[in-house]
Amino acid sequence: MKAFITGATGFIGSAVVRELLHEGWKVRALVRAKSNSKNVRKLPIERCYGDLCDKESLIKGMRGCQAVFHVAAHYDLWHADPRVPYKINVEGTKNLLEAALQTNIEKVVYTSSVSTIGICKEKKIGHEETPIDYKYIVGHYKRSKYLAEKEAFSFIKKGLQVYIVNPSTPIGERDIKPTPTGKVIVDYLNGKMYGYIETGLNIIDVKDVARGHILAMQKGKVGERYILGNKNLTLKEIFDLLESVTGKPAPRFKIPYNLALCAGFADSAVAKLLKRRPNIPLDGVKMARKKMFFDATKAVRELGLPQTPVEHSFKKACEWFSSNGYVKE
């Protein structure tokens, strides 16, 4: 059996590649010419050079494959050009699903996000059926993922077997970019976290996320969503955990939300003048207004999603960042 995968060189994608190889699959990976392929450099996979915006490269890559794992996405909380996440996440997903239909792919596993899921007002914890109102979604990344998931559902109606997984916040090894959460860990390790705001995230080991992709294909139901998550932690609890793992003191100062928001606006204005990335992404601050807590019970019950203790996951992430040059001594 052969699988075609997008996003193979990235954080989640490279973990999915390893799970597929472990399961005995042959893997053909879509790789952009300028991608950093460090994560898959030594793996026995076939590389197909192309792009989500190049439909012909997708069709070529899928020929002879039985399954597709669409993991690629433009994941960034700041955009010099806000059209980019829509072009890649929405139009790219549409291109991929059209190519899957044309090449008679048997199964597609689509990597969505908990960004497409609302948070219950009563319990303040979201689940797969919690609705979300598009007009209240913060930021171009989250909006683009919401629209991309809509594309996935539309192709299910056209007869394509699509299994949708919604990862929460993965951590672990090979976060080469790093992701926004990985950057928080890197900044912590470099002593650049001076305070915290009252927010929270659902954390899961990236290897468990990858396993969840395989399990969704094996045990999931077409058209169902599965939250791939584990433990809900406040930002303070995350820093306290990092302190226990690294021995480096956690920040004790609680930053009022309005102060963080003002800092975000100010930094964005300076960044625009200096034509640089903001150090405090405004969308990230706005997202932090709510604790992004989610319930992964459905995936654990129906798929058998692993629940690696997040303490181990943080330790692996810290060790990987430290041994790969992200931490200044």
Q: 89 lies in a domain? A: yes
Which amino acid, residue 301? R
- Contacts for 16 with CB less than 8 Å, ≥ 6 apart: 5, 8, 69, 71, 210, 213, 214
Q: 97 lies in a domain? A: yes
Q: What is the pLDDT of residues 284-294, one digit of tens each?
A: 766 777 888 99
Determine the pLDDT at residue 267.
64
Determine the pLDDT at residue 33.
82
Q: 130 lies in a domain? A: yes
Q: What is the CATH number of the domain that holds 218?
A: 3.40.50.720
CB atoms within 10 A of CB 98: 17
Q: Which domain holds residue 99?
A: 2-172+204-229+294-307
CB atoms within 10 A of CB 322: 14
pTM for the full predicted model = 0.92
pLDDT band of residue 121 (cuts 50, 70, 90) is: low
Sheet holding 169-171, edge to edge: 169-171, 200-205, 231-234
- Contacts for 146 with CB less than 8 Å, ≥ 6 apart: 115, 116, 132, 134, 137
User: Quick one: what percent of the chain has pLDDT higher than 70?
Assistant: 93
**Domain total in the chain:** 1
Q: What is the pLDDT of residues 156-201, one digit of tens each?
A: 999 999 999 999 999 999 999 999 899 999 999 999 988 888 899 9
Residue 24 backbone class (left: φ over 0; alpha: ψ -120 to 50; beta: rest)? left
Q: Considering all CA atoms of the chain, what is the largest pairwise distance in Å, rounded to the nearest integer?
A: 56
Q: What is the pLDDT of residues 22-36, one digit of tens each?
A: 999 999 999 988 888
Strands 231-234 and 2-6: unpaired
Determine the pLDDT at residue 75.
77
Q: In what helix (H) or strand (E) does residue 218 lie, and over which residues does it extend?
A: helix 206-219
Q: 162 lies in a domain? A: yes
